[in-house]
């Protein structure tokens, strides 16, 4: 018995008290999102040699010390979660985009463009059967007008959605900068708090939550430094380095374009959008990247080159992940409507009837702004046809025919169902960036257009579900490791409580023994 004995017992008392505090902290945060279970680690305080027995030292322990309060966390699972979470966010965004596109098209259950194309075809057949009938001529003009207006509405909706996606890009960049500010702030607090050798675990939880959220916007790699701070690389470039951050700015995607792309303040775009984005290339991650791929660099039409619609300029837009979604849809729809206008105008180039008999008919579709490409947005029904009696100017009569002649209308019906090479240039060449050639008539081209949208949506939804399962599995594995279990914590609390009580009884006993010795002196 000595004062050293009291010191040994007190170390056990204080260590048990610390264990109770850590356990209580775990229980108090059982429902705190992102909280990591903490565990008090102990080690022997050291030993005193009090003699030797046959050359073997006889040692007496000097108590127990607290090593650290550690987090029960696996850095490998953290990185795996962030990688898969980034991919999940990419496909979630892509799926949302394709769902919106399907809503815009309103196929096949609403009054979609395919139904209006069929209506126009049906009305053309009726006109062929009775070309001089006033009602049929008026109905033909009306069906052409309805078809054109629906196509305009779709193109306008595409453009409006592009602007909406651009706003989401700007909001995402704002959120990224706020998250990196928070990470830099936590780095500073952790470095300051851990200079004493203790872990700033609650700050670390906050930082890890911020990094997890950041991983949904971009692909990140995280490295912990010796001082407790972290460095983060985003898309292979330094984003955070201890107390410093590489701010993300917005710049024009193209000259004269209203759309923005994220770029590092130090220079260079955040994302490399010069090769196909797919799982083979391992770059199919980040919701912000998905927004950029969906929106594209600018509003497109039939005059936009395929090179401006593809990511990899040396490959076709048909390659998986090699095209901007909305611009490709805009260009293809424009090509369809320009073909419709060309077929109708080329066929119905005869003479009119009635008061216009013997006179050259007028074109059905004309540009709103002359000397500009007659894209969907620059297309109108000839105002002369919409005037009172304008139906007489419909050029349905051949030069040698009479008002009942339907040969020009038959030309239209034939051309309508004639397969065409949609992606071949007028000189017979093929743009290497154009989609793979397909020889289709007008209705089949649009059916293929709708079918590809459905296929892309289905593929994205399938990959989203696949990534959801993986993220859920990794999350559950993380949760089983780092989450607080009340049963385990209560068992640990009882262990520390018993140890505390035992140490307290030893203190009481030693105190009495020392008091007795002192009183006997």
pLDDT in tens, 225-267: 989 999 999 988 999 998 899 999 999 998 888 999 999 998 8
Name residue, tokens 């090699």: 322
Per-residue pLDDT, 354:
75
Per-residue pLDDT, 46:
67
pTM of the model: 0.89
Which long-range contacts link 199-202 to residues 24+ away (Cβ below 8 Å)? 199/68, 199/69, 199/70, 199/71, 200/228, 201/36, 201/38, 201/69, 201/70, 201/71
Q: Express each pLDDT in 70-102 by its tens digit.
A: 888 888 999 999 999 999 999 999 999 999 999
Taking the CB of residue 23, how many other CB atoms lie within 10 A of it? 24
- Contact partners, residue 75, CB within 8 Å, separation at least 6: 224
d(CA 259, CA 169): 9
Contact by Cβ (8 Å): 217, 271: no
Per-residue pLDDT, 21:
81
Is pLDDT at 155 greater than 60 in this prediction? yes
Is pLDDT at 1 greater than 60 in this prediction? no
Per-residue pLDDT, 63:
67
Q: Is the Cα torsion angle 452, 454, 459, 463 positive or negative in sign?
A: positive
d(CA 220, CA 300): 32
Tokens of 516: 């007795």
- Contact partners, residue 45, CB within 8 Å, separation at least 6: 8, 11, 61, 62, 63, 64, 65
- More confidently predicted of 78 and 485: 78
Per-residue pLDDT, 205:
93
Q: Express each pLDDT in 111-134 by its tens digit.
A: 789 999 999 999 999 999 999 999
Is pLDDT at 24 greater than 90 in this prediction? no
Is pLDDT at 36 greater than 90 in this prediction? no
Rounded to 10 deg, the angle between the 201-217 and 75-105 helix axes is: 40
pLDDT mean over 14-20: 79
Name residue, tokens 């559950």: 476
Instruction: Write the DSSP symbol of residue 48.
Output: E
Is pLDDT at 42 greater than 80 in this prediction? no
Q: Express each pLDDT in 431-466 by its tens digit.
A: 889 999 889 999 999 999 999 999 999 999 999 999
Contact by Cβ (8 Å): 395, 349: yes
Per-residue pLDDT, 236:
87
Contact by Cβ (8 Å): 270, 220: no
Is pLDDT at 521 greater than 70 in this prediction? no
Confidence of residue 20 (pLDDT cuts 50, 70, 90): confident
Is pLDDT at 388 greater than 80 in this prediction? yes
Opening angle at CA 343, ends 341 and 348, nearest 5:
95
Q: Helix, strand, or coil here: 239?
A: strand
Is pLDDT at 356 greater than 80 in this prediction? no
Per-residue pLDDT, 85:
96
Per-residue pLDDT, 424:
83
Longest dimension (CA), the chain: 143
Whole-number Cα distances in Å, 358 to 228, 355, 382, 520: 90, 9, 19, 141
Per-residue pLDDT, 362:
93
Name residue, tokens 């966010």: 89
- More confidently predicted of 406 and 62: 406
Per-residue pLDDT, 319:
92
Is pLDDT at 511 greater than 70 in this prediction? no
Confidence of residue 385 (pLDDT cuts 50, 70, 90): very high
Contact by Cβ (8 Å): 301, 330: yes
Whole-number Cα distances in Å, 282 to 87, 278, 279: 9, 6, 5
pLDDT mean over 391-410: 85
Per-residue pLDDT, 47:
65
- Contact partners, residue 377, CB within 8 Å, separation at least 6: 152, 155, 156, 301
Is pLDDT at 288 greater than 60 in this prediction? yes
**Averaged pLDDT score across all residues of the chain:** 89
Contact by Cβ (8 Å): 165, 104: no
Q: What share of the chain has pLDDT > 90, as a percent? A: 62
Name residue, tokens 């980040």: 286
DSSP 389-449: TGGGGBB-B-TT--TT--HHHHHHHHHHTS-EETTB-TTS-B-TTSPPP-EE-HHHHHHHH
Label residue 158 left, alpha or beta by phi (over 0 means left) and psi (-120 to 50 means alpha). alpha
d(CA 80, CA 392): 71
Per-residue pLDDT, 6:
66
Is pLDDT at 322 greater than 90 in this prediction? yes
Residue among 367, 308, 397, 362 nearest 127 (CA): 397
d(CA 407, CA 398): 7
């Amino acid at each position: 018995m000595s004062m050293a004995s009291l010191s040994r017992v007190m170390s056990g008392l204080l260590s048990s008290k610390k264990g109770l505090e850590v356990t209580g902290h775990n229980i108090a945060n059982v429902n705190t999102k992102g909280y990591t279970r903490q565990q008090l680690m102990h080690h022997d305080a050291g030993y005193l040699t009090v003699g030797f027995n046959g050359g073997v030292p006889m040692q007496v322990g000097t108590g127990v010390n607290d090593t650290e309060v550690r987090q029960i966390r696996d850095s490998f699972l953290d990185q795996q979660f962030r990688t898969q979470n980034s991919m999940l966010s990419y496909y979630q965004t892509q799926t949302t985009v394709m769902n919106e596109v399907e809503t815009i098209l309103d196929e096949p259950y609403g009054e979609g463009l395919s139904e209006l194309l069929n209506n126009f075809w049906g009305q053309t057949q009726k006109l062929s059967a009775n070309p001089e009938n006033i009602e049929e001529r008026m109905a033909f003009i009306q069906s052409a007008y309805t078809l054109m207006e629906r196509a305009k509405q779709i193109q306008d909706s595409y453009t409006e959605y592009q602007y909406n996606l651009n706003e989401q890009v700007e909001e995402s960049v704002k959120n990224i900068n706020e998250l990196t500010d928070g990470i830099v702030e936590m780095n500073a607090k952790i470095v300051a708090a851990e200079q004493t050798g203790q872990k700033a675990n609650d700050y670390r939880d906050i930082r890890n939550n911020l990094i997890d959220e950041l991983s949904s916007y971009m692909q990140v790699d995280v490295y912990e430094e010796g001082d407790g701070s972290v460095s983060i690389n985003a898309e292979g470039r330094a984003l955070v380095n201890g107390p410093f951050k590489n701010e993300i700015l917005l710049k024009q995607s193209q000259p004269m374009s209203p759309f923005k792309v994220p770029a590092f303040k130090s220079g260079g775009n955040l994302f490399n959008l010069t090769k196909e984005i797919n799982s083979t290339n391992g770059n199919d991650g980040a919701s912000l990247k998905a927004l950029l791929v969906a929106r594209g660099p600018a509003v497109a039409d039939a005059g936009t080159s395929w090179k401006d619609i593809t990511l990899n300029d040396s490959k076709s837009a048909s390659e998986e992940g090699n095209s901007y979604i909305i611009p490709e849809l805009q260009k293809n729809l424009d090509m369809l409507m320009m073909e419709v206008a060309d077929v109708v105008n080329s066929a119905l180039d005869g003479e009119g009837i009635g008061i216009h008999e013997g006179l050259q008919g007028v074109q059905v579709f004309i540009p709103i702004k002359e000397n500009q490409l007659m894209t969907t947005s620059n297309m109108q029904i000839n105002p002369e046809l919409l005037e009172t009696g304008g139906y007489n100017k419909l050029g349905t009569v051949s030069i040698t025919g009479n008002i009942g002649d339907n040969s020009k209308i038959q030309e239209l019906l034939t051309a309508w169902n004639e397969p065409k090479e949609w992606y071949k240039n007028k000189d017979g060449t093929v743009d290497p960036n154009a989609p793979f050639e397909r020889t289709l008539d007008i209705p089949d081209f649009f059916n293929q257009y709708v079918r590809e949208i459905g296929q892309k949506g289905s593929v994205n939804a399938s990959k989203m579900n696949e990534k959801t399962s993986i993220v859920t599995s990794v999350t559950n594995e993380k949760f089983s490791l780092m989450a607080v279990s009340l049963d385990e914590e209560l068992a640990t609390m009882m262990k520390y409580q018993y140890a505390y009580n035992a140490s307290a009884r030893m203190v009481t006993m030693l105190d009495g023994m020392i008091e007795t010795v002192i009183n006997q002196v």
